[in-house]
Amino acid sequence: MKYINELREGDNVSEIYLCKKKDMLQTKAGKNYLSLILQDKTGTVDGKVWDLNGGINHFESMDFIKVEAQVVSFQGNLQMNIKRIRKADEGEYVVGDYMPTTSKDQDEMYRELLRLVDSVEDKNYHALLDGFFRDKEFAIKFRDHSAAKSIHHGFIGGLLEHSLSVAKLCEFYTKQYPILNHDLLITAALLHDIGKLEELSLFPENDYTDDGQLLGHIVIGANMVDRAMDKIEGFPKIKRTELIHCILAHHGELEYGSPKKPALIEAVALSFADNTDAKIETFAEAIYGANATGTEWLGFNRALDSNIRGTSK
């Protein structure tokens, strides 16, 4: 199998991919064409079917499809010009080849996460974290979930990888800046994106749920944590409010989706850690995606709001 990250301009491809998205669009001249997003475990690539007459059998989004295409470059990105499509038969593909997955050891990451849970001495915060992360059913779901639809950590294990990275940055902050409340900050870091479990559906869809569209992961997560604190007898009101505030403010700015701007020093630290990990991972994923083409300048990246370069001189 030729994976998407191995594609080169000029390649002729005859492979099976997951059709992540299928849209019927029109050119400026009014001619219909299909616009597809094809996926395997290494990433996604745009596909276009300009000629709908002959060779294009019926299929839907989320089907595995066999495509015959040529790889071209369009505005600095690879794209497939597809000539033939048929729906793949069971037995022709292995599902695991089409689901992007963290490159890190999930067992090791989860052990590291539990180490951070055990570093929290406050009995209320510790009980809250245990209630989530030492619940077997929750742990399975958390370990395998994505952290995003597309921007960063949009792969199996992405939520675990991102949450752990943010918590480890916060752990460093508490050592560098003793004014920070370690137990509040680590608890908030581990739980800050918990709402993504309900915001995003499981792979292969990995798309926004109705709750995700209508509420978003910040509000969903704050509600999940609030309900969990209800089950812990005598949970102090001020600790409850401070933790919820950190979750609500973790995007830092109202225009970035935070219902509140940070009003606690721990909320400021969490927002910086979250932004640091998200931005560096976004840049890294852009570099990995460009490695296949050998491109030095990667073009304008909307998430980073900059024209970015992927290699050093």
CATH of the domain at 209: 1.10.3210
Within a domain: 242: yes
Q: For position 54, what pLDDT does the model report? A: 81
Within a domain: 261: yes
Is there a single domain that holds both residue 278 and residue 236? yes
Is there a single domain that holds both residue 242 and residue 115? yes
Within a domain: 313: no
Is there a single domain that holds both residue 147 and residue 32? no
Is there a single domain that holds both residue 74 and residue 121? no
Q: For position 313, what pLDDT does the model report? A: 47
Contact 47, 8 (CB under 8 A): no
Query: Which range marks the domain in which residue 40 is found?
Result: 4-97
Model confidence band, residue 120 (pLDDT cutoffs 50, 70, 90): very high
Q: Is the pLDDT of residue 294 over 70?
A: no
Is there a single domain that holds both residue 132 and residue 12? no
Within a domain: 301: no
β-sheet bridge partners, residue 32: 26
Is there a single domain that holds both residue 169 and residue 232? yes
Mean pLDDT of 127-132: 98
How far is the C-alpha of 128 from the C-alpha of 139, rounded, in Å? 14
Q: What angle do CA 267, 272, 276 make, to 5 degrees?
A: 150
Domain count, the chain: 2
Model confidence band, residue 293 (pLDDT cutoffs 50, 70, 90): low
Q: For position 182, what pLDDT does the model report? A: 98
Is there a single domain that holds both residue 81 and residue 126? no
Within a domain: 224: yes
Residue 198: closest CA among 172, 240, 227, 235 = 227
pLDDT in tens, 74-92: 888 899 999 999 999 989 9
pTM of the model: 0.78
Boundary residue ending a domain (97, 117, 133): 97
Boundary residue ending a domain (44, 62, 97): 97
| Residue type, position 293, single letter | T
Question: What whole-number percentage of the chain has pLDDT above 70?
Answer: 96
Q: Is the pLDDT of residue 134 over 90?
A: yes
Mean pLDDT of the chain: 91
- CATH number where 73 lies: 2.40.50.140
Within a domain: 237: yes
Residue 165 burial (10 A CB sphere; 0-12, 13-18, 19+): buried
Q: Which of 144-153, 161-170, 242-251 has the lowest mean pLDDT?
A: 144-153
Boundary residue ending a domain (97, 128, 151): 97
Mean pLDDT of 115-132: 98
How far is the C-alpha of 255 from the C-alpha of 252, rounded, in Å? 9
